[in-house]
Amino acid sequence: MKVLLANPRGFCAGVDRAIEMVERALELHGAPIYVRHEVVHNKFVVNELKSKGAIFVEEIDEVPRGKVVIFSAHGVSQAVRKQAQDIGAIIYDATCPLVTKVHKEVTRKQKQNHNVILIGHEGHPEVEGTLGQSSGDQTVQLVETVSDVENLEISTDDISYTTQTTLSVDDTQKIVQALKEKFPNIQAPKKDDICYATQNRQDAVKALMESCDVLLVLGSNNSSNSNRLKEIAKKMNKPAYLIDGIDDIDVRWVEGVETVGVTAGASAPEILVQEVVDCLLDKGATEVVEVSGVKEDVHFPVPGELR
């Protein structure tokens, strides 16, 4: 059995920054500090930070007054931001700068009185944060599928769209195409909202799966970009499994298989990939190949007050 490792894979710049912010805040203020929502969607990362003194909460009203609160990499609505200010929290915002860019885009377009459409997955925290950037009586309309686009009713020509950062590049293209057909004057974001890390990891898996029989994706169930990686292999009619670590591997998945592909979502640490490689070597893998891919050099520094 041969193991092919996708490149790039694993941590992106936004995840690196968010984790570093929690660690620095713990050093600076001491435990406990409160993190609103899982700082990144990965069980291993969240458990590590819990063991260092981070407390994860879903709602700001779970946080005592005057404590340190960190917003997760997925971003928050203006209402959540205000709630944290109202309890006198010391706030550190770990929202990925590429999500903040989408928030700014929504605000800018609404100032121009545009109807803004967001392509994204209902209920995902990033989507809730982006929908929550609206002010006054303006709203952002969410679409998830081409049929959602068919049901949209907008009577003005001033329309823009924006997207969640971690979507399937291919599915989003279809939705954008449907939007353009229905609203020929619709304005696109200045630069694609699907982030570089999502795009690169999807491209890498597409190429990898040309030569693999099965794909293992390190990533948690609630990680949007990890789920999209699994879907790519499935669409190529190859079995694919999302795993949090080696305990989730069912040996039958790789029995009699010639080539196994391994990748990791943007919130899954490399240490878990290495454990999977060791596990596959134990199960009879004879060769491990790092497939070459796009080099990433994006870095987002932590805010000055945490440096």
Catalytic site positions: 126
Binding of ligand SF4 at residue 266 (CB under 6 A)? yes
Q: Residue 51: CB partners within 8 Å, gap ≥ 6? A: none
How far is Cα 7 from Cα 200, in angstroms, rounded to an integer? 8
Q: How far is the CB of 82 from ligand SF4 (least distance, A)?
A: 23
Question: Of 120-149, which residues contact ligand SF4 (CB under 6 A)?
Answer: none
Residue of 73, 116, 140, 218 interacting with ligand SF4 (CB under 6 A): 73
Pair of tokens at residue 167: 């979507």
> What is the helix (H) or strand (E) element at residue 163, kind and residue range?
strand 159-163
User: Are 204 and 293 contacting, i.e. CB atoms less than 8 angstroms apart?
Assistant: yes
Tallying the residues shown for the chain, one arrives at: 307
Taking the least distance from each CB to ligand SF4, the nearer of 22 and 178 is 22
Count of CB atoms situated within 10 Å of the CB of 97 = 14
Is residue 36 helix, strand or coil?
Answer: strand
How far apart are CB 277 and ligand SF4 at their closest, in Å?
Answer: 23
**What are the Cα distances from residue 93, in Å, to 25, 122, 305?**
11, 23, 11
**41 vs 280, beta carbon nearer ligand SF4:** 41
**Contact between 116 and ligand SF4 (CB under 6 A)?**
no
* Residue 94 interacts with ligand SF4 (CB under 6 A): yes or no: no
Q: Which of 4, 60, 94, 99 binds ligand SF4 (CB under 6 A)?
A: 99
240 scored as a contact of ligand SF4 (CB under 6 A):
no
70 binds ligand SF4 (CB under 6 A): no
Placement of tokens 């939705």 in the chain: 175
35 near ligand SF4 (CB under 6 A): no
Q: For residues 201 and 225, what is the distance between their CA atoms, to the nearest angstrom? A: 9
Interface stretch with ligand SF4, choices 12-20, 52-60, 134-142, 269-277 (CB under 6 A)? 12-20
Q: Which is nearer to ligand SF4, 115 or 202 (CB)?
A: 202
State in angstroms the smallest separation of the CB of 67 from ligand SF4. Answer: 25
Nearer to ligand SF4, 41 or 214 (CB): 41
| C-beta of 226 vs 259, nearer to ligand SF4 | 226
Q: How far is the CB of 163 from ligand SF4 (least distance, A)?
A: 11
Q: Does 302 bind ligand SF4 (CB under 6 A)?
A: no
Binding window for ligand SF4 (CB under 6 A); candidates: 43-51, 91-99, 129-137, 245-253? 91-99
Binding segment for ligand SF4 (CB under 6 A), chosen from 41-49, 168-176, 194-202, 288-296, is 194-202
Q: Which of 42, 160, 162, 166 binds ligand SF4 (CB under 6 A)?
A: 166
Q: How far apart are CA 239 and CA 170, in angstroms?
A: 19
Cα separation values, 266 from 42, 183, 215, Å: 9, 33, 16
SS3 for 228? Answer: helix
Q: Residue 71 or 183: which CB sits closer to ligand SF4?
A: 71
Q: Please, are residues 228 and 198 in contact by the beta-carbon 8 Å criterion? A: yes
Give the closest residue to 217 by CA, choosing from 176, 174, 249: 249
d(CA 168, CA 218): 17
The 3 state secondary structure assigned to 80-118 is: HHHHHHHCCCEEEECCCHHHHHHHHHHHHHHHCCCEEEE
* Among 96, 159, 186, 240, contact with ligand SF4 (rule: CB under 6 A): 96
Q: Residues in the site for ligand SF4, rule: CB under 6 A?
A: 12-15, 73, 96, 98-99, 165-166, 195, 197-198, 225, 266
